[in-house]
């Protein structure tokens, strides 16, 4: 199966953010990517987090999110989104998934012999969920209940091969600021199952790819950086 992937669009009406980001271009970039995904035969699309950024006027955040999500749905492709830390700054979890009309992780979906596993590491290692104005983006963590759920999914005899998606990194050599704090524990779960060959995430805007113990860890480059568009169609 083919899936369309993009990460860190930071879409909003801001012309410039953090010196190098161009959030106001991301609406057009996402539209271009969605068209390319459809033309390229993608069966579904996944955003790997930080779909949104704040608008210049915070009162416009919901309006802009509705405009964006309606455009995405207009392409008729199943769309999944794992929240990133910036999405958590814009909206509490319930509002993000209500407005966007996206399915809320953690969950898994099976397509043929591939099971796609969606995780949410938007928690501090204290166990506190990310909330607007209460986020340390350098402190992300996958809660025990999600780790146990992941084990259960991978232990299911019906699951032949699984691919994992989340925003924050599990990559072994990643800068610790971008790394899920219990990443080593989560990687051990993936390795023990023998069913996971690929993990996709965002968060690290430069992007990085590495393989560890037979599993490829891919952090997609950010769509929002500069004027160039960045997205991928991958075959599972």
- The pLDDT assigned to 117 comes to 98
What averages of pLDDT result for each successive group of 10 residues across the chain (236 residues)? 98 97 98 98 98 96 98 98 97 97 97 97 98 97 98 97 98 96 98 98 98 98 98 97
Structure tokens at 93: 């979890």
pLDDT for the residue numbered 121: 98
- In Å, what is the CA distance from 122 to each residue of 1, 129, 148, 179? 28, 6, 17, 12
**How many CB atoms within 10 Å of residue 152?**
11
Q: Residue 27 belongs to what domain range?
A: 2-235
List the one residue out of 204, 234, 197 whose CA is nearest residue 219: 204
Stated as kind and residue range, the H or E segment containing 146 is: helix 144-155
**For the domain that residue 126 is a member of, what is the CATH number?**
3.60.21.10
CA separation for the pair 197, 163 (Å, rounded):
7
Quote the CA–CA distance of 228 and 223 in Å, as a whole number: 8
Q: What is the reported pLDDT for 231?
A: 98
Task: Please name the helix (run of DSSP H) or strand (run of DSSP E) that holds residue 154, with its range, or none.
Answer: helix 144-155
Structure tokens at 213: 């113990």
- State the Cα–Cα distance between residues 39 and 143, nearest whole angstrom: 38
Q: Residue 160: CB partners within 8 Å, gap ≥ 6? A: 113, 114, 115, 195
**d(Cα 26, Cα 13) in Å, to the nearest integer?**
9
- State the angle between helix axes of 26-39 and 61-73 in degrees (0 to 180), rounded to the nearest 10: 20
Q: What is the pLDDT of residue 153?
A: 98
Read out DSSP for 35-91? HHHHHTT-SEEEE-S--B---SSGGGHHHHHHHHHHHHHTT---EEE---HHHHHHS
- In the three-class reduction of DSSP (H, G, I as helix; E, B as strand; rest coil), residue 115 is classed as strand
- Per-residue confidence (pLDDT) for residue 12, from 0 to 100: 98
Cα–Cα distance, 17 to 169 (Å, whole number): 22
CA 2 to each of CA 32, 33, 37, 102: distance values in angstroms, whole numbers, following the listed order: 17, 14, 9, 20
Strands 2-6, 232-235: pairing kind: antiparallel
DSSP character at residue 113:
T
The reported pLDDT for the residue numbered 101 is 96
Report the number of distinct structural domains present in the chain: 1
């Amino acid at each position: 199966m083919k899936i369309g992937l993009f990460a860190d669009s930071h879409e909003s009406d801001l012309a410039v953010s953090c010196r190098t980001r161009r959030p106001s271009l991301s609406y057009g970039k996402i539209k271009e990517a969605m068209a390319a995904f459809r033309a390229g035969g993608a069966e579904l699309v996944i955003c790997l987090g930080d779909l949104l950024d704040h608008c210049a006027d915070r009162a416009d955040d919901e309006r802009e999110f509705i405009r964006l999500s309606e455009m995405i749905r207009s392409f008729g492709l199943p769309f999944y989104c794992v929240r990133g830390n910036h999405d958590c700054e814009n909206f509490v979890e319930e509002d993000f998934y209500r407005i966007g009309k996206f399915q809320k992780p953690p969950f898994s979906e099976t397509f043929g012999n591939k099971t796609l596993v969606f995780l949410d590491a938007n928690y501090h290692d204290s166990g506190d969920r990310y909330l607007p104005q209460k986020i340390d983006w350098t402190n992300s963590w996958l809660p025990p209940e999600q780790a146990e759920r992941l084990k259960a999914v991978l232990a299911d005899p019906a699951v032949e091969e699984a691919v994992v998606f989340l925003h924050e990194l599990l990559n072994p050599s990643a800068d610790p600021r971008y790394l899920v704090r219990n990443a080593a524990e989560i990687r051990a779960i993936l390795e023990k199952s023998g069913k996971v060959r690929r993990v996709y995430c965002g968060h690290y805007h430069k992007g990085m790819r590495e393989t560890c113990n037979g599993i490829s860890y891919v952090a997609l480059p950010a769509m929002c950086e500069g004027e160039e568009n960045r997205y991928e169609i991958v075959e599972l």
